[in-house]
């Protein structure tokens, strides 16, 4: 039958001993829920007008009388999907119905600094504000939005505030393929079935819960035909979980990263997707007897971690065979990516930890984030080259606001290796002991943050800011 492919690989929670011991496991095996779409209220083409409200929400996770308290955008877990076109003018009104200040940060989009929802522009409880910006040509890609208030980003995100955003291009070479959206979040429940607060281990290692959810569902089923090609967009919206994803049975090509399509598809065996990072895959159904058909996460060692890590493959989603279909063509080239030229400025950005100082454990260039300190200045339009140095005992995924960057090279066991292909990214994992070289240009002036995207580290100050000045 169609469902047989899942058969032998049904659910066990990711952690051996869930915090909520007496609670039954969450229901699993439902069809992958579609992300609800945020409706566009604009009457004319080229504009996108909508409202987002952050507010408390009660959800019945077990489908019975038990209620779990979340915070959600527009009463949806995760938040609604925002689908846009290059060139669109956006006008989003945001209402904060939480008891804390919040913002909406447009993660990865090249928006003006004052529209970026960064910690300098908090929206107080009960207040409202408009975010207005235009999507430039070439911005097609896979983005997301989440709160970014000073010191409260992790909590607001793990209580449910995060949503997907897609910018489409009118000449998309993959538009003929059916699309699946998979937004990964991490749910940590306490013994009462409520979203657990962060403990010391979470603050240190980064929070990991008992459940990795996809579009809010645990171990959902994704239908795929034998031979069918689908385009999968993936979002790692977890606080701190570095996902090493694989589909052992099927053919998988990486076709896009955070900032859109690659120049050409890359065949891959597994994909490391760190917190904040996105990817586009083309998955071709190749169901085979004896090979698990599902989407799995493989063990990955995030440096010298103190807590127990995932020891074996875990099933994140089932993939069920749904008939047979002819295999559609996959173009050999997707879009041109020009390499950024010689840099006009260089910086060294060092991640480090100081376990002796509880008030400043996670540092960038030896310092903890201070909203009132500007850590450097740059120029709009000038190519910068940064060496990201992981002088640390754990991995720290680096993220830069305001633009996309190209990775040039990374060290592997201390030796530099050139990046095998060009890609536009806004997150790159800097593994313990590793260095990564990137180049970028900021096209818009203003203060831009960069930080570790383990949200617990960011809130504790593993963040810095540079003011980019117009020429
Ligand atoms: Cu996704 Cu500064 O964040
Ligand atoms: Cu961001
Ligand atoms: Cu970190």
Q: Are the folds of 31-168 and 345-469 the same?
A: yes
What would the mean pLDDT of 159-177 be, rounded to a whole number? 98
Q: Is 276 in the pocket of ligand 1 (CB under 6 A)?
A: yes
Q: Is 233 in the pocket of ligand 1 (CB under 6 A)?
A: no
Going by pLDDT thresholds of 50, 70 and 90, the confidence category of residue 306 is: low
Q: Is 278 in the pocket of ligand 1 (CB under 6 A)?
A: no
Residue 9 has pLDDT above 50, yes or no: no
Interface TM-score (ipTM) > 0.95: yes
- Which class in CATH covers the domain with range 179-324? mainly beta
| Whether the CB of 449 sits within 6 Å of ligand 1 | yes
If residue 61 lies in a helix (H) or strand (E), which one and from where to where?
A: none
Atom of ligand 1 at shortest distance to CA of 401?
2
Tens digit of each residue's pLDDT (9 = 90 or more) over 22-75: 789 999 999 999 999 999 999 999 999 999 999 999 999 999 999 999 999 999
Domain definitions of the chain by residue range: 31-168, 179-324, 345-469
Starting from the CA of residue 450, give the closest ligand.
1
Q: Classify domain 31-168 at the CATH class level.
A: mainly beta
Digit-coded pLDDT (tens) for 383-435: 999 999 999 999 999 999 999 999 999 999 999 999 999 999 999 999 999 99
Atom of ligand 1 nearest to the CA of 427: 1
Report d(CA 6, CA 14) in Å as an integer: 17
What is d(CA 308, CA 15) in angstroms, rounded to the nearest whole number? 9
Give the closest ligand to the alpha carbon of residue 393.
3
User: Near ion ligand 2, which residues have CB within 5 Å?
Assistant: 107, 401
Ligand 1, atom 1: closest residue by C-alpha: 107
Residues 71-104: tens digit of each pLDDT: 999 999 999 999 999 999 999 999 999 999 999 9
3-state secondary structure of 82: strand
Q: In the chain, what percentage of residues exceed pLDDT 70?
A: 94
Ligand showing the shortest atom-to-Cα distance for residue 240: 3
Q: Which CATH superfamily is 345-469 part of?
A: Cupredoxins -  blue copper proteins (2.60.40.420)
Cβ neighbors of 370 (< 8 A, separation 6 or more) are: 461
Residue 305's pLDDT is 65
At 171, list the tokens: 């000449």
Ligand 1 centroid, distance to 399 Cα (angstroms): 7
Q: Ligand 2 center to residue 163 CA distance, Å?
A: 13
Furthest-apart CA pair in the chain: how many Å? 64
- pTM confidence score: 0.95
């Amino acid at each position: 039958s169609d469902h047989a492919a899942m058969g032998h690989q049904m659910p066990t929670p990711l952690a051996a001993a869930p915090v909520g011991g007496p609670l039954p496991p969450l229901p699993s095996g439902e069809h992958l829920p579609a992300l609800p779409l945020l409706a566009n209220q604009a009457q004319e083409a080229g504009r996108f007008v909508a409202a987002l409200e952050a507010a408390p929400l009660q959800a019945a996770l077990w489908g019975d009388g038990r209620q779990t308290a979340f915070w959600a955008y527009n009463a949806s877990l995760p938040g609604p999907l925002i689908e846009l076109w290059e060139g669109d003018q956006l006008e989003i009104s945001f209402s904060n119905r939480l008891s804390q200040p919040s913002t909406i940060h447009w993660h990865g989009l090249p928006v003006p600094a004052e529209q970026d929802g960064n910690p300098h522009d908090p929206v107080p409880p009960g207040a409202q504000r408009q975010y207005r910006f235009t999507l430039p040509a070439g911005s097609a890609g896979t983005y997301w939005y989440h709160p970014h208030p000073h010191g409260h980003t992790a909590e607001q995100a793990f209580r449910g505030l995060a949503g997907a955003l897609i910018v489409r291009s009118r000449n998309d070479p993959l538009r003929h393929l059916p699309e699946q959206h998979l937004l990964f979040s991490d749910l940590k429940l306490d013994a009462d079935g409520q979203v657990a607060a962060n403990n010391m281990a979470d603050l240190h290692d980064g929070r990991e819960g008992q459940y990795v959810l996809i579009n809010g569902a645990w171990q959902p089923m994704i239908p795929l035909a034998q031979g069918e090609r689908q385009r999968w967009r993936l979002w790692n919206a977890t606080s701190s979980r570095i996902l090493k994803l694989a589909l052992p049975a099927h053919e998988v090509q990486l076709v896009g990263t955070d900032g859109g399509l690659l120049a050409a598809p890359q065949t891959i065996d597994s994909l490391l997707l760190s917190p904040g990072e996105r990817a586009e895959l083309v998955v071709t159904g190749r169901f085979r007897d004896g090979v698990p058909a599902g989407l799995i996460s493989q063990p990955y060692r995030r440096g010298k971690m103190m807590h127990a890590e995932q020891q074996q493959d875990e099933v994140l989603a089932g993939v069920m065979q749904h008939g047979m279909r002819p295999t559609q063509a996959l173009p050999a080239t997707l879009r041109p990516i020009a390499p950024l030229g010689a840099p006009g400025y260089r910086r060294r950005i060092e991640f480090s930890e100081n376990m002796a100082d509880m008030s400043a454990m996670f540092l960038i260039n030896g310092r903890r984030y201070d909203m009132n300190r500007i850590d450097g200045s740059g120029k709009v339009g000038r190519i910068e080259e940064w060496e990201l140095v992981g002088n640390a005992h754990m991995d720290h995924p680096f993220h830069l606001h305001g633009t996309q960057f190209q990775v040039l090279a990374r060290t592997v066991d201390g030796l530099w290796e050139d990046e095998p292909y060009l890609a536009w990214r806004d997150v790159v994992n800097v593994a313990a002991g590793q260095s990564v070289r990137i180049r970028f240009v900021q096209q818009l002036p203003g203060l831009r943050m960069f930080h570790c995207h383990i949200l617990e580290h960011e809130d504790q100050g593993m963040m810095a800011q540079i003011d980019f000045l117009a020429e």
